[in-house]
Structure 1
Amino acid sequence: MSNGGELRYVIGQNAYIKLILHALKHKTSSVNGVLLGRLSGDVVEITESVPLFHCSQIGLLPPLEIALIMIEEYYSSQGLSIVGYFHANERFDDLELGTVAKNIADHIYRYFPQTAVLLLDNKKLGALRNKKDTAPVMQLYTRDSSRSWNVANRITTKEPSANILLLDFTSSEKWNDIVDFDDHLDDISKDWLNSELFK
């Protein structure tokens, strides 16, 4: 099932919220992150996420490689591996999966053929306040046998209340607490695991 044809993707509440808060913290920049989890039957379970970059380093290989090595080392002991990639574009209305996103996703795909690529949909995010929607505010892309990334409508949040909690977090500006790898590389005392975020 290497092309992800029948697979479903389920993202846990904390992994989901962390990535969106990362994008909200850096509204005027592209941001990215990785998704961690495991393949369980025909479901890719995304249980954790790590915000990576928010500035010009977003497509640079050396910082990315350092981040991926540290992430894999830390999470492999918990039985998790990198199962996907998250991206939010700089422009509010940009819903294109760009070259940088595709290149990083291709890299992850080499190690995990069921890779999920999640692209933030700002319009869905903005509409959340007005309607009680449980659907994720991101678009899922999977890679097909022709090696191109295509939209797939097979992602759900594990907890139906994820968007309600997300609204609570945004109204209290919880995004100010998010630390990504850019922040950690500038000041190694900053916790890229964001272990205090949900406490």
Structure 2
Amino acid sequence: MGELTYEIGQNAYIKIVLHALKHKSSAVNGVLVGRYDAGKGIVQISDAVPLFHSNTGLLPSLEIALMQIEEHFASQEVSLVGYFHANERSDDYDLSNVAKNIGDHLCRYFPQAGILLLDNRKLEALPKVKDRSPVMQLYSRDGSKWKVEENSHLVMKEPSANMILLDYVSTQKWEGIIDFDDHLDDISKDWLNAELFK
């Protein structure tokens, strides 16, 4: 699947990074929502839903979350197109078994599903470097294994996303991000994060 390009939208990108920043000392994960343009070979990631910051691999909570997410997005003609993960330790740059297992599960329903692993080195350097590339690494499934893709396979839909992200970071906007863990603790909290970009 190396010929595929994964195009990530600004809001999805910002949600992923803010989720990781809010829970710096925990592993975090979530799912990617979008559509597949088979003619162009592009997986378009239009949204991200932060899932957990504790017990990232707990199956009952994951099943509940995936059912609610799929039900919500079914009418919008988008589906789950991938998974994102940030490791607990800042010096851990490997794809965890939890990430691989959830990625494998998503591939059963969407064979082109990718995994985005946050790169803590790039994330820490972001305010200094003013880089326009994503602060994450793309993995795609190759047979039964996950492999790292070249950076050219993951592109930002809006090249200025990192600049806008810096503004969100400077105003500590990550404090407002809600994940499914938060929603399960208090169902009045919106896992869609509709207020985040207002």
Taking structure 2 as the reference length, the TM-score comes to 0.97
| Post-superposition offset of 1:22 | 0.4
Read off the aligned partner of 1:196 and give its amino acid letter: E
Read off the aligned partner of 1:118 and give its amino acid letter: L
In structure 2, how many angstroms separate the alpha carbons of the residues matched to 1:156 and 1:46? 10
Q: State how 1:139-158 maps to structure 2 within 5 Å.
A: 139-145=137-143, 147-153=144-150, 154-158=153-157
2:34–2:46 Cα contact (<8 Å) kept = yes
Read off the aligned partner of 1:74 and give its amino acid letter: H
Read off the aligned partner of 1:28 and give its amino acid letter: S
1:196 maps to what in 2?
195
Establish whether residue 122 from structure 1 lines up as the match of residue 97 from structure 2.
Answer: no
1:10 maps to what in 2?
7
Read off the aligned partner of 1:164 and give its amino acid letter: M
Establish whether residue 75 from structure 1 lines up as the match of residue 60 from structure 2.
Answer: no
2:119–2:135 Cα contact (<8 Å) kept = yes
Question: Deviations for 1:5-30, whole angstroms, at most 9, x for unmatched residues?
Answer: 31100000000000110010000000
Q: State how 1:1-199 maps to structure 2 within 5 Å.
A: 4-40=1-37, 41=39, 42-56=41-55, 58-145=56-143, 147-153=144-150, 154-199=153-198
In structure 1, how many angstroms separate the alpha carbons of the residues matched to 2:78 and 2:162? 24
Taking structure 1 as the reference length, the TM-score comes to 0.96
In structure 1, how many angstroms separate the alpha carbons of the residues matched to 2:28 and 2:127? 23
| Post-superposition offset of 1:76 | 1.2
> What is the RMSD computed on CA atoms of the aligned residues?
0.6
In structure 1, how many angstroms separate the alpha carbons of the residues matched to 2:127 and 2:16? 18
Structure 2 unaligned spans of 5+:
none
In structure 1, how many angstroms separate the alpha carbons of the residues matched to 2:9 and 2:179? 19
2:2–2:149 Cα contact (<8 Å) kept = no
| Post-superposition offset of 1:132 | 1.8
| Post-superposition offset of 1:126 | 1.0
SS at match of 2:101: helix
SS at match of 2:196: coil
In structure 1, how many angstroms separate the alpha carbons of the residues matched to 2:16 and 2:2? 25
Read off the aligned partner of 1:170 and give its amino acid letter: V
Q: Would you identify which runs of 4 or more consecutive aligned residues in structure 1 move more than 4 Å?
A: none
In structure 2, how many angstroms separate the alpha carbons of the residues matched to 1:131 and 1:193? 31
